[in-house]
Amino acid sequence: MPLVGEDWLLERMLLLIPIIMSLSVHEWAHAWSAAQLGDDTAARSGRLTLNPLEHMDPVGTLLLPLLGVPFGWAKPVPVNPGRFDRRVSLRAGIMITAGAGPFSNLVLAFAATVALGLLARFAPAVHEGGGALPRLLEMLVFLNLILAVFNLLPIPPLDGGRIADGLVPDGLRPAWDAFASAAPLLLGVALVLPLLLGVSVFEWPLAAAQLWLAAVFEAIAG
């Protein structure tokens, strides 16, 4: 999704703002879900907050967006599964807290799509004018879909890897552990393949999500 304008500072800000917002909500969701299950580790560390200053990583949250890279990361939220209460199993608790982050990104993408639809319906001149507000909302949609799809890859230490770990039967645990030991290499392959071969593991899920959100937009915009 192209950025707008010829002013590089405006372009970088239009990228930096949604990156900071999306990553802060992502990490807060991990902390909040853990707190609901009885683990106050993140809360005691000051991470149960939407304040982006508590979540920022100098490189992943600030430097990359300022360089124009439409991606990033924040400081991981500390979660101690041993502090979960007995309402859920240990595996289920880990899966819930891991999934909360990508789920929050999908919620943000949906909310931004709804806002775009309302803008197109009630303020079409603003929506079609190519100004900062519609482009900011479009960036929110795009970035949050990227963050959700990437983090749901079933490769440790991504959130999807922790979810997959909770689903692996005991009988397949040795095979999964062997797979997890090669996770850094596999993650690197997943990131490099689009550059080398034009093949992306993100293409299908991103396309499916974008089609669904496009339908939501059309239904609201009328």
pLDDT tens digits, residue range 30-49? 999 999 999 999 999 999 99
Higher pLDDT: 11 or 180? It is: 180
**For 105-134, what is each residue's pLDDT tens digit?**
999 999 999 999 999 999 999 988 878 899
Cα–Cα distance, 53 to 57 (Å, whole number):
9
27 is catalytic: yes
Examine the pLDDT at 2 and tell me if it is beyond 70. Answer: no
Q: Which residues contact 129 (CB under 8 A, 6 or more apart)?
A: none
Asked if 217 and 117 count as a contact pair (C-beta separation under 8 A), the reply is: yes
Instruction: Name the catalytic one among 6, 27, 54, 218.
Output: 27
Q: CA–CA separation, 57 vs 71, rounded Å?
A: 13
Question: Residue 60 is encoded by which pair of tokens?
Answer: 């992943």
Query: Nearest CA to 35 among 23, 24, 46?
Result: 46
CB 118 within 8 A of CB 111: no
